[in-house]
């Protein structure tokens, strides 16, 4: 579904006018371009915090195959994740970098590791209910225990089998993006 929406957005955009970067249209236009733009505005957002490009690729494939419409954003290290979540620096435009509905967070990363990012998230009052899923290859009890002490929502081990990993990602996305109701 996500791939279909991307294809629609690209095919519906007139060449060179940058309509995807414009603010929402006023009124109730029913043209295909406005419908596609509206779909993108209302998609939920997933933030993946991962420094390994191979793991990013595997996650992108799992998300695309999940069949659950969403936007996947990637932060490549812990500092970038904090900037994204706080809307700082290059991430200050919330139309281009929407606040995520769920975060997948690796532990072993440069600059700030996943535990430090998780601790920062849980220290932010506005983010106390943000679902954070540790997505990591580490099954060391100390890593697992620390993540839960810091308030992680779930802990998902990276598995070698793409089908099994894809199924796990689909279940998590289905729950957090489709079924879960968040407090206001």
SS3 49: strand
Q: Would you state the pLDDT for residue 81?
A: 96
| Averaged pLDDT, 161-184 | 88
pTM for the full predicted model: 0.76
Nearest to 50 by CA among 127, 109, 101: 109
- Nearest 5°: the CA angle 11, 16, 18 is 80
How does pLDDT run across 89-100, given as a tens digit for each residue?
999 998 899 999
| Averaged pLDDT, 43-50 | 93
* Token pair for 101: 């509905």
Residue ranges of domains in the chain: 1-42, 43-179
pLDDT at 34 over 60: no
Q: Would you state the pLDDT for residue 85?
A: 96
| Averaged pLDDT, 28-50 | 67
Q: Would you state the pLDDT for residue 28?
A: 53
What is the distance between the alpha carbons of residues 133 and 118, in angstroms, rounded to a whole number?
Answer: 10
Q: Which of 11-20, 71-80, 152-161 has the highest mean pLDDT?
A: 71-80
* Residue 10: band (very low, low, confident or very high) from pLDDT cuts 50, 70, 90: very low
The CATH code of the domain at 43-179 is 3.40.50.2300
């Amino acid at each position: 579904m996500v791939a279909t929406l991307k294809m629609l957005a690209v095919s519906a955009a007139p060449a060179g006018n940058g309509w995807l970067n414009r603010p929402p249209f006023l009124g109730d236009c029913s043209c295909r371009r406005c419908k596609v733009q509206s779909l993108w505005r209302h998609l939920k957002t997933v933030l993946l915090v991962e420094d390994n490009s191979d793991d990013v690729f595997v996650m992108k494939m799992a998300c695309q195959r999940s069949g659950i419409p969403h936007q996947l954003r990637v932060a490549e290290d812990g500092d970038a994740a904090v900037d994204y979540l706080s809307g700082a620096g290059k991430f200050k435009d919330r139309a281009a970098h929407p606040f995520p509905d769920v975060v997948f967070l690796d532990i072993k990363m440069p600059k700030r590791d996943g535990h430090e990012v998780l601790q920062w998230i849980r220290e932010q009052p506005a983010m106390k209910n943000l679902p954070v899923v540790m997505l990591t290859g580490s099954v060391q009890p100390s890593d697992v225990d620390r993540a839960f002490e810091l308030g992680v929502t779930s802990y998902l081990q990276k598995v070698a089998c793409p089908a099994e990993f894809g199924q796990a990602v689909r279940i998590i996305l289905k729950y957090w993006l489709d079924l879960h109701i968040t407090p206001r």
